[in-house]
């Protein structure tokens, strides 16, 4: 078979784009070369419906071992009793948890999408808002912090079967204990979706959701720096860890429910090549090197927030505890949409994002979301954040001046030369 140069040329162009640009999308990262190489392996050819040791297909002895390794390493990272590494994505992980413990029509309570929540937490265009009855809590208008009083009031009023915490654009710590307290009062499950900050939670740099949340889901490709995918975790093994009236479960029952909800509930055959890559990424997370990486993420985010604040950028909640920040650009007279487009011309990649109580639509938005996991993987430290913020500021202050934007693009490309990305790929 002739090599498909058309597609491989495009893959190489994407590599060059990643090398030359400043990647500030908060949900992106650069997986290690061994993780990337493992995603292109022959396990892709294998059907393995089921779980290690109990499959519906023959020939699974070897993929059983990689999947078990991924499970064991993930459980070790988060000190959990149960892990499922098969969800193809974060959205799939959330779908499985909901399928496992909710009935169609049950009420759920999550953070509003326009306040930093995620589509899978009850949005009307998503399965979660179509199959279940979605309700939302917000962040406070002044501080931009989760409005726990509103959450509690709504929880008592609506009595949802599940309260969802975790977000895509929230830069602050969560009070999981407070959420669990009201959940216990009304007999609701708590699901934490730690898709964004999981890598920081893995290294105890943020509060752990595991003691307080019945289920924890995550992506594997954001701060966990693995291949694209999802996981589900459960912490406890005791007689009735969930304290629920209608699900008299011990961990075994809940594990079975969860396994069944992933396969056959929401997925068919697992992606065993991706699971092999997950196992490698989880091994990397267990190293001290990753601890240093996670600490550097926080240091970089702090330095970046300070540099933005010094230039009078309005950071929602006034700063960050994690790897990202949400910036309201209304005092800078530029929309999120325009900012995203013009920064893109300077090879600086961010995403437009609604800010809490935004008066612009989701297509235009008043804000941008900026994150440091990817540039931290490239090797940047606090000292580099001033250059990053200066570059963004010059572009946003001169969005219609093509010479300025082209000049910044040149500076960015030269700056990125020092941070080698996949040098082995030539
Ligand atoms: C990114 C994200 C997801 C979805 O992950 P996909 O892998 O894109 O499906 C789910 N929840 C939250 C909070 C996220 O930020």
- Cα distance between residue 133 and residue 48, in whole Å: 34
Q: Candidates 88, 89, 91, 224: which one to mutate for ligand 1, based on the most atoms within 8 Å of Cβ?
A: 91
User: 121 in ligand 1 pocket by Cβ < 6 Å?
Assistant: no
Tell me the CA–centroid distance for residue 94 and ligand 1, in Å: 9
Give the list of residues 6+ apart from residue 26 with CB closer than 8 angstroms, or none. Answer: 169, 196, 222, 323, 324, 351, 369, 370, 371, 372, 373
Asked if 264 and 276 count as a contact pair (C-beta separation under 8 A), the reply is no
- The encoded tokens of residue 225 equal 């720096």
By the 10 Å C-beta count (0-12 exposed, 13-18 middle, 19+ buried), 45 is classed as exposed
C-alpha 99 to ligand 1 mean position (Å): 17
- Measured between alpha carbons, how far is residue 265 from residues 98, 240, 243 in Å? 11, 24, 25
CA distance 26 to 222: 8
Helix (H) or strand (E) holding 190: strand 189-193
Task: Choose the residue to mutate in 26, 118, 146, 230 for probing ligand 1, maximizing ligand atoms within 8 Å of C-beta.
Answer: 118
On the 0-12 / 13-18 / 19+ scale of CB atoms within 10 A, 310 is: exposed
Dump pLDDT digits (tens) for 108-126: 999 999 999 999 999 999 9
pLDDT tens digit string along 49-83? 999 999 999 999 999 999 999 999 999 999 999 99
Q: Three-class SS string for 301-330?
A: HHHHHHHHHHCCCEEHHHCCCCCEEEEECH
Active site residue 321: no
Q: Using one digit for the tens of pLDDT, what is the confidence trace for 335-353?
A: 999 999 999 999 999 999 9
Q: Which atom of ligand 1 is nearest to the CA of 88?
A: 7
pLDDT in tens, 191-203: 999 999 999 999 9
pLDDT of residue 248: 46
For ligand 1, whether the C-beta of 196 sits within 6 Å is yes
In the residue annotation, 358 being an active-site residue is answered as no
193 Cα: distance to centroid of ligand 1 (angstroms): 8
pLDDT of 249 above 80: no
Ligand 1 pocket member 19 (CB < 6 A) = no
Residue nearest to atom 10 of ligand 1 (CA): 90
| Residue pLDDT, tens place only, 207-218 | 999 999 999 999
pLDDT confidence band for 254 (50 / 70 / 90): confident
pLDDT band at 243 (very low <50, low <70, confident <90, very high): low
Residues contacting residue 74 through CB under 8 Å, at least 6 positions apart: 80, 83, 85, 231, 233, 278, 282
Find the catalytic residue in 228, 295, 337, 360.
Answer: 228
Q: Is the pLDDT of residue 283 over 80?
A: yes
pLDDT at 411: 98
* 51 is an active site residue: no
Domains of the chain with bracketed CATH? 5-30+294-425 (3.90.1150.10), 34-285 (3.40.640.10)
Tokens of 259: 């396994």
| Confidence bin at 1 (pLDDT 50/70/90) | confident
Q: Please indicate whether residue 49 is annotated as part of the active site.
A: yes
Instruction: Name the closest-CA residue to atom 5, ligand 1.
Output: 90
Residues in a beta bridge with 107: 133
Q: What value does the mean pLDDT take over residues 390-407? A: 98
Confidence of residue 252 (pLDDT cuts 50, 70, 90): confident
Residues 80 and 82: their CA atoms lie apart, in Å, by 6
Query: For strand 367-371 and strand 348-349, is the pairing parallel, antiparallel, or unpaired?
Result: unpaired
- Helices 402-416 and 385-397: crossing angle, nearest 10°? 160
Mutate to test the pocket of ligand 1, among 28, 120, 217, 232 (most ligand atoms within 8 A of CB): 120
Q: Indicate if ligand 1 lies below 6 Å from the C-beta of 126.
A: no
CA-closest residue to ligand 1 atom 4: 90
> Are the beta carbons of 102 and 130 closer than 8 angstroms?
no
Which pLDDT score, from 0 to 100, does residue 239 have?
Answer: 42
CA terminus-to-terminus distance, the chain: 24
Separation between Cα atoms, residue 169 and residue 350, nearest integer Å: 13
User: Is 90 near ligand 1, meaning CB less than 6 Å away?
Assistant: yes
Q: Is the CB of 89 under 6 A from ligand 1?
A: yes
Write down the H helix ranges in 21-117: 33-39, 61-78, 90-101
Q: Tell me if 165 sits within 8 A of 179, measured CB to CB.
A: yes
Q: Which atom of ligand 1 is nearest to the CA of 94?
A: 10
User: Could you identify the atom of ligand 1 that is nearest to the CA of residue 89?
Assistant: 7
Chain centroid to Cα 45, Å, comes to 28
What would the two tokens of residue 111 be?
């953070």
Is residue 365 annotated as part of the catalytic site, yes or no?
A: no
* 199: CB partners within 8 A, 6+ apart: 222, 223, 224, 225, 285, 290, 293, 294, 297, 323, 373
> What whole-number percentage of the chain has pLDDT above 70?
97
Is the per-residue pLDDT at 246 higher than 70?
no
3-class SS of residue 193: strand
Ligand 1 proximity of 166 Cβ (cutoff 6 Å): yes
The DSSP-derived string for 115-171 is GT--GGGT-TTSHHHHHSEEEEE-B-TTT--B-HHHHHHHHHHH--SEEEE--SS--
């Amino acid at each position: 078979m002739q090599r498909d140069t058309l597609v491989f040329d495009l893959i190489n162009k994407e590599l060059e784009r990643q090398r030359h640009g400043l990647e500030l999308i908060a949900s992106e990262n650069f997986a290690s070369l061994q993780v990337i190489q493992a995603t292109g392996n022959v396990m892709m050819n294998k059907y393995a419906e089921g779980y290690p040791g109990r499959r519906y297909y023959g020939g699974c002895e070897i993929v059983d071992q990689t999947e078990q390794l991924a499970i064991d390493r993930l459980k070790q990272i988060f000190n959990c009793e149960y892990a499922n590494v098969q969800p193809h994505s974060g959205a799939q992980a959330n779908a499985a948890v909901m399928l496992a413990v909710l009935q169609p029509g049950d009420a759920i309570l999550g953070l509003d999408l326009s306040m930093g929540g995620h589509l899978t937490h009850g949005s009307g265009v998503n399965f979660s808002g179509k199959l279940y009855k979605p309700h939302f809590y917000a962040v406070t208008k002044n501080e931009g912090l989760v409005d726990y009083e509103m959450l509690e009031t709504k929880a008592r009023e609506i009595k949802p079967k599940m309260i969802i915490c975790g977000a895509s654009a929230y830069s602050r710590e969560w009070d999981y204990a407070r959420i669990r307290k009201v959940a216990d009062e009304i007999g609701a499950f708590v699901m934490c979706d730690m898709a964004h900050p999981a890598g920081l939670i893995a290294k105890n740099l943020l509060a752990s959701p595991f003691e307080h949340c019945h289920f924890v889901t995550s992506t594997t490709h954001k701060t966990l720096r693995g291949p694209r995918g999802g996981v589900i975790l459960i912490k406890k093994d005791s007689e009735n860890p969930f304290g629920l009236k209608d699900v008299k479960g011990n961990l075994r029952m809940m594990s079975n429910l969860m396994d069944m909800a992933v396969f056959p509930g929401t997925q068919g055959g697992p992606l065993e090549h991706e699971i092999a890559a997950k196992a490698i990424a989880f091994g990397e997370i267990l190293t001290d090197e990753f601890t240093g990486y996670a600490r550097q993420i926080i240091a970089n985010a702090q330095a970046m927030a300070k540099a933005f604040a010094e230039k009078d950028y309005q950071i929602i909640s006034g700063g960050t505890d994690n790897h990202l920040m949400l910036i309201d650009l209304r005092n800078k007279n530029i929309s999120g949409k325009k900012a995203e487009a013009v920064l893109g011309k300077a090879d600086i990649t961010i995403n437009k994002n609604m800010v809490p109580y935004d008066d612009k639509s989701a297509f235009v938005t008043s804000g941008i979301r900026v994150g440091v996991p990817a540039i931290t993987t490239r090797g940047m430290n606090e000292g580099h954040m001033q250059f990053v913020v200066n570059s963004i500021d010059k572009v946003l202050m001169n969005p219609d001046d093509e010479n300025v934007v082209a000049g910044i693009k040149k500076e960015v490309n030269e700056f990125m030369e020092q941070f080698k990305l996949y040098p082995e790929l030539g």
